[in-house]
Amino acid sequence: MGLTSSKREGDLKTPKGNFKIKLLFYRADRIKNIHTKIKKIRIKKNFGWCDDVNSEEYNKLIYFPFKKSAEKLYLKKNIYDLILVTSFNSKPVVKKRGSAIFLHIASRKLNPTKGCIAVQKKDLIKMLPFITQKTKLIIS
């Protein structure tokens, strides 16, 4: 765990760098009245994020059923009720470099993530109106 300058898939580390916020995924059944200037997409039950380095869909949104490895975005726990997708490893996507570096809701016990950034729900909701296409997430 910790920060790294050379992120690898599955290393449980957060990549250092400056990243744009690409879009927001949200659970419409749990989060109401979202105020943001970036593109937002309602999370559906079949949404996932591919973490399979052998897939053409690596580090991209996928739809279940899906034959390769992918993380579910529609969860019982609330950590993915709001997901800000960063630009990390997106243009171009480099296999094995790491996927799904999100800014999302922290668990109640503030447990470490598998490489993402997590903050309390109330704080993430307060930030949303200030995030634009030009906003940068700086991790150092």
Please report whether residue 1 resides in a domain: no
Distances (CA, A) of 69 to 8, 37, 55: 16, 32, 8
Please report whether residue 140 resides in a domain: no
Contact (CB, 8 A) for 12 and 1: yes
Domain range enclosing 49: 8-135
Looking at the 3D structure of the chain, how many domains does it have? 1
Residue 116: band (very low, low, confident or very high) from pLDDT cuts 50, 70, 90:
very high
The whole-number pLDDT of residue 67 equals 97
Please report whether residue 97 resides in a domain: yes
pTM: 0.95
Residue pLDDT, tens place only, 68-110: 999 999 999 999 999 999 999 999 999 999 998 999 999 999 9
The whole-number pLDDT of residue 71 equals 96
Q: In whole angstroms, what is the distance from residue 63 CA to residue 47 CA?
A: 5
Residue 68 CB partners (closer than 8 Å, separation 6+)? 50, 52, 54, 55, 57, 62
Please report whether residue 118 resides in a domain: yes
Please report whether residue 122 resides in a domain: yes
Please report whether residue 12 resides in a domain: yes
Chain mean pLDDT for the chain: 96
Please report whether residue 2 resides in a domain: no
Residue 1 scores a pLDDT above 80: no
Please report whether residue 88 resides in a domain: yes
Q: In whole angstroms, what is the distance from residue 133 CA to residue 58 CA?
A: 23
